[in-house]
């Protein structure tokens, strides 16, 4: 990983996950005695956490398409970031993310936003496996 610009920016969990995966590959190429242990632990624990989030299934194209789709809602950058990272699927979750939601979005817009999220951002692996496990138990 190399720093191209010293300005700070906010990135999605999916971008963090990919950066850490790349860093992990670089670490694995080093001999064991040259690998810094503390950074290895941080990378491992963070990747382990992110594997339970929507970040694992999100691709850059999904995120870019989602950002274009939510432009008419006039959401802030931080709100869009939280929608991407958390992938809310209920109106209550959206109301917790979007500041002054009741004043800015009506019920139809919230429903439309949920549909856009479900259409553009893939389900997290943990949700898919929970659904599959439930279906298998019912069979």
- Residue-wise pLDDT for 47-75, tens only, equals 999 999 999 999 999 999 999 999 999 99
- Given a contact cutoff of 8 angstroms between Cβ atoms, the answer to whether 54 and 87 are in contact is yes
- Tell me the chain's radius of gyration from C-alpha atoms: 18
CATH number for the region 60-121 comes to: 1.20.1250.40
Residue ranges in the chain modelled with pLDDT below 70: 1-7, 126-139
Rounded CA gap, 121 and 95, in Å? Answer: 18
For residue 129, what pLDDT is reported? 52
In sequence order, the 6+-apart residues with CB closer than 8 A to the CB of 103 are none
Q: How many CB atoms lie within 10 A of CB 4?
A: 6
pLDDT number for residue 67:
96
- pLDDT, residue 37, reads 78
Note the pLDDT of residue 80: 96
pLDDT at 127 (0 to 100): 56
Q: Where are the domains of the chain?
A: 13-56, 60-121
Tokens encoding 23: 């860093």
């Amino acid at each position: 990983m190399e720093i191209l610009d010293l300005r700070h920016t906010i990135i999605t969990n999916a971008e963090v996950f990919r950066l850490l995966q790349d860093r992990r590959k670089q670490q694995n190429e080093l001999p064991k005695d040259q690998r810094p242990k503390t950074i290895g632990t941080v990378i491992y624990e963070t990747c382990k956490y992110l594997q339970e989030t929507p970040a694992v299934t999100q691709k850059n194209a999904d995120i870019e398409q989602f950002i274009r789709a939510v432009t008419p809602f006039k959401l802030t950058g931080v709100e869009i970031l939280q929608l991407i990272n958390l992938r809310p699927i209920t109106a209550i979750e959206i109301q917790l993310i979007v500041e002054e939601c009741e004043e800015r979005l009506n019920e139809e817009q919230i429903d439309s936003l949920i549909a856009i999220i479900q259409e553009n951002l893939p389900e997290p692996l943990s949700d898919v496996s929970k659904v599959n496990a439930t279906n298998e138990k019912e069979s």
